[in-house]
Structures are given as structure tokens and as C-alpha cells.
Structure 1
Amino acid sequence: MARHGAGRGWYTKVIGAALGVMVLATGASVWSAQADAVDSAPKAVSPERKVKAVEKSIAHASDAGARGVNITIDDGPDPNWTPQVLDVLRENGVKATFCIVGTQAEAHPDLVKKVVAEGHRLCNHSVSHDTTMDRQSKAYQRSQILDAERMITEASGGVRPMYYRAPGGAFTPYSRELAASRGMRPLGWNVDTKDFEQPGADAIVATVERELPNGPTLLFHDAGGDRAQTVEALRRILPSLKEQGYSYGFPVR
């Protein structure tokens, strides 16, 4: 009996050990599947994610050289005017930099994706286009810049803005340094076309022709009001500058 009992004890231990191995293997398999699911899940966009810093001085020059011109488009995207601006740019083979407001990006992510798909670059233009940014606290500036970065990146499907343009040019040393640390070169302009005042397409064209010697970065708008004059002016300016020997590029980074 003792001998038979010992055999049963050995058999019981073997079965127990086998069951233990199966439980461990099953647990490891479940854990591995869960880990794989977590790793493969889309990652939330975080403004604190490590990025390469860029120069913090305000950019004006063009990467297209001495005869380069940078077309920059502010305040959108707008469902009426942005598609029309994109059409004119496409017709003329011109790439531009779109300075996007965070709330507009959230409202119209399809247009942000369209801007990216057509080869244009994105610029962070703050969350709410507050032109008093330079008189606000650092905490407020940080929120406006980093929240807009997140909103634009999410709207674009993961493409980050490459520049930061302060609303109304209201830069501060802090906002420039913060933006640059996040890989967004502060972006200025040389020619303010005043198209937001709706002076007429003739006046917008004349401003560009008169002030282009001041520098290559031109400021237009695709939101904030009726932009029919801007669309018409771009339709005339883009081929005209090409005929004069200018080429189109992006602001330096």
C-alpha cells in the first residue's frame, strides 16, 4: 500500500506540475497579448514628447535663396476660403506655409489634412489668436502654444507644425524660446498685404509689388472674413512673380 500510495503521490505531483506549467503559460500568453495590444494601440499626441529644438530667432528668409518668396497664409483653416486658396496654389505649382489657429484646426481637421496632403507646411498660430500674447503670463503663453501644437498635430493626423507665428507678431523671448524648444521656428513676415482690411485685389497686388524688396515672406489670410480679394490677388501675384524670376520656397528653419 505504501508503495502504491507512493506511486499515486508521484503521479499527482507530475499532474500538478503540468497543470502549473499550463497556468503559467496561459498567463504569459494573456500578458503578452495585452502588451502587444498596448504597444500597437495609437499613441496619444503629447506636447511634451521629445523633439529636436530649432533656432529661436524670428525667421524671415526663404530656403529658395536670394530670389525666393515665401507665401504664408494665416488664421484658418476656413471651409469656404481655404479650399479656394489651395486651388490657386495648386494651379500655380506653389507650396505655402499655413499658420493655423488651434480652434480652427479642431473644427476643420479635414482641411488641415488636405493642406498637408498637398505638400504645404503647418505653422502654429496659437489656440485663439490672442494678439495680446506678449502681455500675458508665461503660463498663459505656454498653454496657447502647446495646446495649439497638440490640436494642430491631432487634426493633421500626426504631422507637427514646423513654425510658430505669434498672433499680431506678439512674440516674447519666452514664447520664442518655448516654440523653438518644441521644434517650431518663430516665423515673422516682411510684407503685410493688409488683405484682412479688404482694400481690393488691386491694392493687395500693389502692396506686394511695392514692398517685396523688404524681404521674401508675404502675409495673406484665408479666414476671419470675406477673402475673395485675397484669392483674386493670389491668382494674379503668383504667376506674375514667377515671370519676374522669383521662385517659391519655405521659411528657413
Structure 2
Amino acid sequence: MIGETIKSGDNRAASPFFRVFGGRLKVADGDAVAMGKSVGNHSLEWAVLSTLVPGVVGVAVFDGLWRLGGCWAAWLGLLPMTFIALHVLGFLLGAWSPRGTFLVWSGALTAWALALLRWGGETPLVWVAWLWLGFIALQVLGMIGLVWQRMMRVEGPKGITLRIVLAVLIHLGIALIWWQFGAAWGASAFVGMVAVWALGTFNPTNEIFGPMPMRLDQRQALLTIDDGPDPEDTPVILDLLDKHGVKAVFFVIGDKVRRFPELAKEIVARGHELGNHTMTHPQHSMWSAGPVRMRREIEECSRVIEEMSGQRPRWFRAPVGHRNYFTHPIAAELGMEVVVWSRRGFDTLDREVEGIVDDLTRNLRYGEILLLHESTKQAPQVVKRVLEEVAPLKD
């Protein structure tokens, strides 16, 4: 059995903004993977917070000392009082986790910034208060992103209904902007919505509409082979995989499985997995499929795979990676995880084999998911060369 996917929904960040926009979880290979998932902070967030929080605390201490004792009190007391504030006050406020600590300091410094703006009078330090409030505004944006992520994980009919309601509300919001602020603002909001939708649909690795695992929790890269089964390529590829002792996932098309059931059975018999790649592979129109058509494409493919091979697919990949707004809740309801890839060589184009292999294997790490294809003129050669590079990773 192929290993489990590594989810990228949590990158260890404490603040909402970095949890959403801080990038995917990146940890070392091997034994450090388990430790890296739970220990330490997000690296970029650590750099920002370790500079920003002490800096703003220092400014708040300096401002308070200046108001209480004047210039000399402020400069002489800055370092010791900042040290006390960061350690003693932090202890007294009480927080026993990175996220709890972030919330405590966010609340305390936001209260100071608002108080300075409201009652601080004329002071050259007002820009620091605005800087901190701008940082907090980013956290609010991150909180909205976290809520959106949670909603995008709702499965089945509830998930479809929720997405339709959200789409209606977003369009109503754009109409309200148009009505209140004019055509220019309304058109800009509409273009922004379309841009986000296009990013979530046409960028295969984007997670706006749901999680897209790109790595596995296993000590070797995974070959995934799309667009089969193929009577010319599949037998050759299976022999190559056997020769190198590598297991793969074949993302198969339902219509082809129905035409070549013996090949689907042979894939399973040799210890590989079958993934769902839709019933008809509508690569030019999958992006525009509504929930009814989307369900039909995915459900029929799974049914045919199970009938012909006896194996129920647990992974789904959209044609060309163009899953859309309704893909995730339907796939989840049918017991599948939407999986993309971390490497592709564009092997369906007329490219040299060595160039394809280099794109797929250069600086390859454990657990990466590689995208290859059947039904191309160079498919066996590409698989052979990739296996020569990937197989040593098992050792």
C-alpha cells in the first residue's frame, strides 16, 4: 500500500496570517519528519515576531517612561523595563502554547496602540501604533482565510450547498459595492473575484478550494501515471516497475478501464493502486462542470474501477489538474482525497526525454509525487529513465 499524504493545512505558525499565507509545511526527511510537524515555529513568522513584538514592546515602554519621568527616565529605563515587560509581564499574562502567547501579546499591544491613538496626544511614536494595527489587520485577513479553509473542508451535499450559498453572497457583496461606490469599484471587485476563482481552478497546486497534498509520508518518491490504461504502454510500464521494485499509482480514465479491464486487473495484481481520473477525461471543460456533471464524472469512474478491478480508488486527480469549485466536497463524499503533484515534466508535449527526466528528478526528495503519463510516444522511455533515478531513493 502506498503511504499516506502529508496535509499542508497547518504549517506550525502561531498567527492566523502565517497559518494561511506562510507557505506549506517544510520539514527534513527521515526521522525528522515526525518531530518537525509538531516542534518549533514557522521560520518566517519567527523572524517577523521576534523583531516586531520586542520592538513594539520597547516603544511602548519608552513612551510610558517618557510620560512618567521624562527623557532620562525613558533612555535609562528602556532596556531593563523592556526586559521585565517581555519576561515578567509575559509570565503574569499567562500563555502555555505558541498560539496562546501570540494571542496574549496581540491583545496587550493592540490595547496599547488604540490607547495611544485615542489619548496619547501629539507624539512621534504614533507611526509604531499604526504599524502594529496594520499587522493586526493582516491577522484579521488570516482569520478570514482560516474560516474559509474550514468551510472548504465541508464534504458532500452540505459542502455543495455551502459553496453555492457562499457564491451567492459574494456576488451580492459585489453588487452592493457597485451600488454604493460606483461602476469602477464594482468592476474591480468582480475582476478580483474572477482572478481568485481562476487561480483556484487553473493552478493545479492552489488550495483555495480545498487541500491539495503534494507529498507522502514515506521514504521514497511516488510515481503517478495518468491517462491509462493503454494496451501498448501499460504492460511495458508494469514490467519496468517490477524490474526496479517500485510501486506506483495509475490515475486511470473510466472509459479506458471499461475497454481494457484486463489491464486494470493486472495493475492491481502487481501491487499498484488505481486512482480516479474521471470517466471521460474532459480536459477542456472540467473547469466549468457543475456539481451534477462533476459527480457523474467522478462517481462513474470509481464504480467502473471497482467493478473491473475489485479495488476502490482512494485518490482523485482532475484532468490537467483543473478541479473546480465543486470538486473537493464530491470527491470527499465518495471517499477520495484530491491529490496533485510536486513534480511534472510536461511529458505530453514534444520534448526530449532527458529534459523531462531532469525536471522530474533533479534534487528529488523523499515523499515527492511525480506526474507522468501513458499514451504518449515517449512514455516507456520516460518511465525507464525516471525509475533509474528514483529507485535508489528507497535505500
Whole-angstrom distance in 2 between the partners of 1:159 and 1:122: 7
User: Where does structure 2 lack aligned partners over 5 or more consecutive residues?
Assistant: 1-209
**Aligned position for 2:316:** 164
Cα deviation for residue 210 of structure 1 reads 3.4
* Structure 1 residues 84 and 142, CA gap change in structure 2 (3 angstroms): same
- Whichever residue aligns with residue 150 of structure 1, its letter is R
Report deviation, 1:159.
1.1
Equivalent position of 1:79 in the other structure = 231
Q: Which amino acid in 2 is paired with 1:195?
A: D
**Higher deviation after alignment, 111-120 or 196-205:** 196-205
- Higher relative contact order at CA 8 Å, sep ≥6: structure 1 or structure 2? 1
2:296 corresponds to 1:143? yes
- Judge conservation of contact 1:191–1:214 (CA < 8 Å) in 2: no
Of 230, 233, 245, the residue aligned with 2:382 is 233
Counterpart residue identity of residue 235, structure 1? K
* 3-state SS, counterpart of residue 134 of structure 1: helix
Given candidates 244, 247, 251, the residue that maps to 2:394 is: 247
| Aligned mates of 2:301, 2:391 — CA distance in 1 | 34
Q: 1:119 to 1:143 in 2, by over 3 A?
A: same
Following the alignment from structure 1 to structure 2, what is the Cα–Cα distance between the partners of residues 99 and 206? 22
Residue 95 of structure 1: aligned partner: 247
What is the Cα deviation at residue 198 of structure 1? 3.3
After superposition, the C-alpha distances for 1:62-115 in whole angstroms (9 at most, x for unaligned) are 1314xx311000001000001111111010000000000010000000000000
CA contact 1:97–1:120 (8 Å) conserved in 2: yes
One-letter amino acid of the structure 2 residue matched with residue 146 of structure 1: E
Structure with the larger helix share: 2
TM-superposed deviation, 1:247: 2.8
Q: With the length of structure 1 as denominator, give the TM-score of the two structures.
A: 0.68
Partner residue of 2:338 out of 158, 168, 186: 186
8 A Cα contact 1:113 1:155, kept in partner? yes
8 Å CA contact 2:254–2:280 kept in 1: the answer is yes
Q: Structure 2-normalised TM-score?
A: 0.45
In 2, distance between residues paired with 1:114 and 1:155? 11
Deviations 1:179-203 (A, max 9, x none): 1121111110111111111312211
- Give distance in 2, aligned partners of 1:214 and 1:155: 32
User: Judging changes above 3 Å, is the alpha-carbon distance between structure 1 residues 99 and 110 closer, same or farther for their aligned structure 2 residues?
Assistant: same
Residues of 1 paired with 2:270 and 2:302: CA distance?
20
Counterpart of 2:70 in structure 1 is none
Aligned 8 A contact 2:316 2:331 in 1: yes
Asked whether the 8 Å contact 1:72–1:217 carries over to 2, the reply is yes
Secondary structure in 1 matching 2:306: helix
Amino acid at match of 2:216: S
Q: Which residue of 1 aligns with 2:218?
A: 64
Query: Is the 2:218–2:367 Cα contact (8 Å) retained in structure 1?
Result: no
Q: How large is the Cα RMSD of the aligned pairs?
A: 2.2
> 5 Å matches for 1:47-62?
57-62=211-216
Q: 1:155 corresponds to which residue?
A: 308
Aligned amino acid, residue 78 of structure 1: D
1:163 Cα deviation from its structure 2 partner: 0.6
Kept in 1: contact 2:221–2:366 (CA 8 A): no
Give yes or no for contact 1:106–1:151 (8 Å, CA) kept in 2.
yes
Percent identical residues: 34
2: distance between equivalents of 1:140 and 1:211? 40
The 1-side partners of 2:326 and 2:371 are apart by 24
> Highest Rg: 1 or 2?
1
Which residue in 1 is equivalent to 2:78? Answer: none
Q: Aligned partner of 1:145: which letter?
A: I
Match of 1:119 in 2: 271
Tell me the distance in 1 between the aligned counterparts of 2:259 and 2:241: 23
1:211, distance to aligned residue in structure 2 (A): 6.8
Which of 329, 335, 345 aligns to 1:177? It is: 329
